[in-house]
Amino acid sequence: MGTLRNCTHPHDLRAFFQYSPVGIEVVEDGLKEIPFGEFMVEQRAIDRFQLFRALQMQDKYPGVRIGECAAALGYLGIGEVERLYAEWRGVSTVIIN
């Protein structure tokens, strides 16, 4: 088992958060809010094809929201859209300064 040590020097802390020169390519730092349509797919309320169709409908009717388009197409009920929207808005984010 490895030994733990306290980070008492600023260099120790900087070294901990450095990006490795090999491995994952970092395209962008930070957390981003996912669009509501992607959230519905992630929650398995609709599939990607249904999201695509809802986006096509939204393109035809620009003032209509994506959840309303999905409900109008019969993919889920408006009550389910409202529940998902409340959950999506309640997803907390972390801000690191």
Q: Tens place of pLDDT for every residue, the chain, 97 residues?
A: 444 455 566 665 555 555 555 555 555 666 677 899 999 999 999 999 999 999 999 999 989 999 999 999 999 999 999 999 989 988 655 556 6
d(CA 24, CA 41): 26
For the chain, the domains span: 31-90
Look-up of token digits 């109008």: 72
Question: What string of H, E and C letters represents the secondary structure of the chain?
Answer: CCCCCCCCCHHHHHHHCCCCCCCCCCCCCCCCCCCHHHHHHHCCCCCHHHHHHHHHHHHHCCCCCHHHHHHHCCCCCHHHHHHHHHHHHHCCCCCCC
Tokens encoding 72:
């109008």
Q: Would the pTM of this model clear 0.75, i.e. be above it?
A: no
